[in-house]
Amino acid sequence: MILGRSERGRPPAEPVTLKILVAGGFGVGKTTFVGAVSEIRPLRTEELLTEAGRPVDDLRGVEGKRTTTVAMDFGRITLREDLVLYLFGTPGQERFWFMWDELAEGALGAVVLVDTRRLEDCFAAVDYFERRDIPFLVGVNCFDGAARYPVEDIRRALDLDDHVPLLLCDARDRESVKEVLVGVVEHAMTRAARRPARPAVTT
């Protein structure tokens, strides 16, 4: 993190770090969304599937390196020297859900990005956050040329609970993405006020 060189002998400030997840189907604009507000070009981090207990050393039948890793893109927003928000794009494929559990632990909340042309791509993510009781909102990414539907129709099609906010957004637009993120934090605060202790994640 770019916090400037500290004075000699003075340890650098220890920042509080928070994370918000950005979920949704493949190609819905997760990395674009992260890149629109991140102060760094979204970085890629990978995890080997060996974490899930797959055999490590047998390379026979492995067709390419890509099939053995899960990639996540993430960005960073330094809000203050001692307060840093990270945005993590969740791995798109459902078979990588073991990574979601790890990412979701301790997350402030989540954005589920939706493309109305492929609404069903986000069902899994909506389901996931509902079941884990993680505060989330739905951001409908309004691609150029994507047919616009009334918000109420989208809400009904997703069978969203009334308390889940739904916003129209443009993942390429910084102001729009900021608004969505503020929405996530506000939603998390409202929920925390209503229910003082968030129940532990059950698996």
Residues at the interface with other proteins (CB under 8 A): 1-3, 5-6, 9, 11-19, 37, 43-48, 50-51, 56-57, 64-65, 69, 72, 74, 76-77, 79-80, 83-86, 88, 102-103, 105-106, 108, 174, 178, 181-182, 185-186, 188-189, 192, 197-201
Alpha carbons 147 and 142: distance in angstroms, whole number:
8
Compute the least distance from the CB of residue 24 to other proteins, in Å: 19
Nearer to other proteins, 44 or 148 (CB): 44
Nearer to other proteins, 12 or 27 (CB): 12
Work out whether the CA dihedral 110, 159, 189, 177 comes out positive or negative: positive
| 65: CB partners within 8 A, 6+ apart | none
Nearer to other proteins, 15 or 166 (CB): 15
**CA-to-CA dists, residue 18 to 59, 103, 126, 175, 192, angstroms:** 38, 11, 21, 20, 16
Residue 165 in tokens: 């906010």
| 203: CB partners within 8 A, 6+ apart | 101
Compute the least distance from the CB of residue 152 to other proteins, in Å: 27
Nearer to other proteins, 156 or 198 (CB): 198
Compute the least distance from the CB of residue 129 to other proteins, in Å: 15
Compute the least distance from the CB of residue 117 to other proteins, in Å: 29
Residue 136 in tokens: 């989330």
Nearer to other proteins, 83 or 146 (CB): 83
